[in-house]
Structure 1
């Protein structure tokens, strides 16, 4: 009987996860602000790149640079600003549910509250990541056309999965959980400041965590796995790259589990 009860509970939890994931994924993709903010962020990124190198020089360097290095540079460029926009766009999802009464309604449904939170976290994060991935694929298509090397395709998938995805999941977990404790506009402001200080700032006179394995820009994975990064990482080995990747994924899971425990505690108080 206990095994049947556990199997039934597992099915309910999976149903709750799947339902929350599908709802959040579709709702997030339908938000015009998602596409507008990410489009403006991508244009800003291209504008910053155009100030560093002209289009002619860029195309010439793409022809002369080894495909692996070109793909790694493009993947690092994606991680420079776009995950910050992703974190800002996700920060209002749970507070909005609470404001509209959806959260109270969901607590009455069968299934694990924590499983539902994981569905909400992954659905909103992956939906917000989709426009970034499409923009990334556009750059990869240009690199593929100019390099004429099919090696670009598996390299693109490998670099995106190891450099971009772990940090994006960490950013998504923080943006899902922390606005339940902090006023969302304040969180968005603090998060933007953290992004530049804790990821892009080159250590000088102000203490920073931008050179540690906790930075979600993926500098350790980029340098450790592929031998190059645009971020302020002096040196990284395969081991430190693996440590950074595992740390970001583990913290993402723990943050959502902690949020689930916090919400269950709140329900018990009522």
Structure 2
């Protein structure tokens, strides 16, 4: 019970701190506007948006979910990366280590609080797109499909990205991580294999291509074939790796404290 209280306290504090950052909303808003600009400059997209009722509802919802997951995970990683180093820089971490409570519960609360707060602008943007689909189709089933596609395509990968952005900046300089992550995202998620080795067509990719293709039959990511089992395997792998990364960071922090 005390661990749960520690987790909830850390989650609540980190969520509030992150969601109040003006740069979170400015950064997400700019990237979302850039995405919309590219979308509507693509030939045929505007006509498609105006005639969504003629397209299969599940495919339309899944495509929109894919597009939301195309570039925004990069912004999530960038916005989360400085949270833990900032605590170390202003010695908050040292103060927290003297308080009663599980360090692991506190770290998980920090990780999930930051991740879900950073996801809030994305959820709002996503829902606006779902409302556009509903306005065109007048089919309330789109809201159920939106929950299903977001939970299976977006959320597992975002949790993995949040874990990476929490753990790696504790080991390397934040700007270096941010630069490397941008390169990793394009190479390891968006690049279609053509001679250069990449993991973009494996179940390890957090972009959600395997879940989208395996569960819903469509994707914008370089995953040509996938079944439901592969989609489930990708989802479980991403979630398990997220937990293992945070556990590894907790062990590293405890080792550091023991050396001091």
In the superposition, the TM-score normalised over structure 1's length comes to: 0.95
- Per-residue displacement from partner, 1:232-260 (whole Å, max 9, x unpaired)? 00100000000000000000000000000
* Conserved 8 A contact 1:121-1:172: yes
Alignment partner, residue 241 of structure 2: 251
How far is 1:67 from its partner? 1.0
* Conserved 8 A contact 2:51-2:136: no
How many residues align? The count is 260
* Conserved 8 A contact 2:39-2:45: no
- Alignment partner of 1:69 is 2:64: no
- Alignment partner of 1:138 is 2:132: no
Q: Within 5 A, what are the aligned runs for 1:81-100?
A: 81-100=71-90
How far is 1:63 from its partner? 2.4
Q: How far apart in 2 are the matches of 1:101 and 1:223?
A: 45
- Per-residue displacement from partner, 1:71-105 (whole Å, max 9, x unpaired)? 00100000000111101100000000000110000
How far is 1:55 from its partner? 6.0
* Conserved 8 A contact 2:88-2:94: yes
Alignment partner, residue 161 of structure 1: 151
Q: How far apart in 1 are the matches of 2:49 and 2:105?
A: 47
Alignment partner, residue 8 of structure 1: none
Alignment partner, residue 97 of structure 2: 107
- Per-residue displacement from partner, 1:161-192 (whole Å, max 9, x unpaired)? 00000000000000001100010000000000
Q: How far apart in 2 are the matches of 1:102 and 1:263?
A: 14
Q: How far apart in 2 are the matches of 1:56 and 1:12?
A: 53
SS of 1:130 mapped into structure 2: helix
Alignment partner, residue 182 of structure 1: 172
Alignment partner, residue 48 of structure 2: 58
Among 13, 20, 29, the residue aligned to 2:3: 13
SS of 2:50 mapped into structure 1: helix
From the superposition, tell whether residues 20 and 14 of structure 1 become closer, same or farther in structure 2 (CA, over 3 Å).
same
- Alignment partner of 1:231 is 2:221: yes
SS of 2:133 mapped into structure 1: helix
Alignment partner, residue 7 of structure 1: none
SS of 1:134 mapped into structure 2: helix
Runs of 5+ consecutive residues of structure 2 not aligned to the other structure: none
- Alignment partner of 1:35 is 2:25: yes
From the superposition, tell whether residues 55 and 200 of structure 1 become closer, same or farther in structure 2 (CA, over 3 Å).
closer
In the superposition, the TM-score normalised over structure 2's length comes to: 0.98
How far is 1:58 from its partner? 2.7
Q: How far apart in 1 are the matches of 2:121 and 2:187?
A: 25
Q: How far apart in 1 are the matches of 2:44 and 2:27?
A: 25
Q: How far apart in 2 are the matches of 1:52 and 1:107?
A: 52
